[in-house]
Amino acid sequence: MLTGCSVDTGASSDNGSELAGQTLTVTAFAGAWSETFTKAFVEPFEARTGAKVQFVPGGGAEWLTKLRAANGENPPYDLIALTPDLSGQAARANILEPLDTSKISNWDELSPVLVERAGVDGTTFGLPLTTGSTGLAYRKDLVPTPPTDWSDLFKPEYCGHVGLPPLTFNPGLELLAGLANEQGGTLGDEAANTKAMESLAQLKGCVSTYPADSGAMQTALQNGDAWIVPWWDGRAFAMEQNGVDIGFVYPESGPVGALTSYYLAKGSTKSDLAYEFLSEMSKPENMKVFAEGTWYAASNTTIEYSEEFAARIQYGNDVYEKFAWIDYPTVLPQITGLQEEWNELFA
């Protein structure tokens, strides 16, 4: 999984492009995500330019570590997929290049809310790809009354069947942010942190499993080890599509936003090719393929989704503005202390 793999569609450029024959190194999450990414973006890009895309599968923390080691010289990737908890660290470490948006077609069609969230300290660093919403996923065959808000996790009928991720796994931290938001506060504020942790303490003795990654979360739901968990809308709907009896609820007080964006590595010698790929990514027809294939809303606001997608996924600038977004520069320095409190509660 740590070695790159070339994606070769067999297409050749018929436009005499000077980009033909070049190779762009792009990070991508493994599995169905990469397969859909290839169909939506890589295949049309390779056909149009004659260039090739080499995938490096893995995860954001691993990619960030290797970028830090390169320190802006001969980076191992040209374009990197990062979430806001990591992109800020990368930008402040001076290992990302600010984007020249004039080189990206369809940039003006992208959601301004998501563009801002993909940036760092007011500078545009990332092209927002898709946003997920963290809410509550549950087994419809085991939960007769669906939840409506975050605090429903504390209902007696769920006791003994709650899947609770640690705060070091995004859905766990997003659950805490959702609770703080429901209570009228903002995660990162000391009083809001305290109140949210006190509420979480109600789950002591009611947690059946502590999934610490996506695979464990999916297994817990599939096997019935957990009846209800904080989870991403796209993952829940994908599981439902694959035959698992899963429901998903956007909490009434507001779901928590989870964004994936693409960033240009500082020191990349393929910036021209990278901008061509970012332009390919920004096209509504391509983003639609990726969004509907992953069940995550894309950043291009001109997309007309299928009826099935539009009926299930909440999307649009008005929706994104109401998300309980996590202020990572404030929250990340507090994670260690919050996780220690969590450990004391659930050890």
pLDDT tens readout for residues 62-117: 999 999 999 999 999 999 999 999 999 999 999 999 999 999 999 999 999 999 99
- Whether 234 and 342 map to the same domain: the answer is yes
3-state secondary structure 43-95: HHHHHHHCCEEEEEECCHHHHHHHHHHHCCCCCCCCEEEECHHHHHHHHHCCC
Residue whose token pair is 């050749």: 12
Q: What angle do CA 260, 220, 331 make, to 5 degrees?
A: 40
The dihedral over CA atoms of 31, 257, 249, 186, expressed in degrees to the nearest 10, equals 140
Quick one: tokens of 56? 């490096």
- Whether 334 and 239 map to the same domain: the answer is yes
The total number of residues written for the chain in this structure? 347
H-helix segments, the chain: 32-37, 43-49, 60-70, 84-92, 112-118, 170-182, 190-200, 214-223, 233-241, 271-282, 284-294, 307-312, 317-321, 328-331, 335-346
Q: Give the bridge partners for 297, in sequence order.
A: 131
- Whether 103 and 251 map to the same domain: the answer is no
- Whether 243 and 281 map to the same domain: the answer is no
- The whole-number pLDDT of residue 11 equals 37
- Whether 341 and 262 map to the same domain: the answer is no
What total number of domains does the chain contain? 2
Structural contact between residues 136 and 249, judged by C-beta atoms closer than 8 angstroms: yes
- Whether 138 and 220 map to the same domain: the answer is yes
- Whether 229 and 174 map to the same domain: the answer is yes
How far is residue 267's CA from residue 286's CA, in Å, rounded to a whole number? 28
Rounded to the nearest 5°, which phi and psi values hold at 265? Answer: -70, 135
Domain span at residue 216 reads 133-256+324-346
Residue ranges in the chain modelled with pLDDT below 50: 1-16
- Whether 47 and 145 map to the same domain: the answer is no
- Whether 122 and 143 map to the same domain: the answer is no
Q: Report how far apart, in Å, the C-alpha atoms of 218 and of each of 66, 166, 232, 236, 325 are.
A: 28, 15, 11, 9, 24
CATH code for the domain in which residue 224 is found = 3.40.190.10
Quick one: tokens of 140? 């419809």
The amino acid at residue 197 is M
How far is residue 233's CA from residue 187's CA, in Å, rounded to a whole number? 21
- The whole-number pLDDT of residue 343 equals 96
- The whole-number pLDDT of residue 32 equals 86
- Whether 263 and 251 map to the same domain: the answer is no
- Whether 147 and 267 map to the same domain: the answer is no
DSSP track, 310-329: HHH---SHHHHHTS----HH
- Whether 21 and 95 map to the same domain: the answer is yes
Rg of the chain over CA atoms, in angstroms? 20
Q: Give the bridge partners for 137, in sequence order.
A: 229, 248
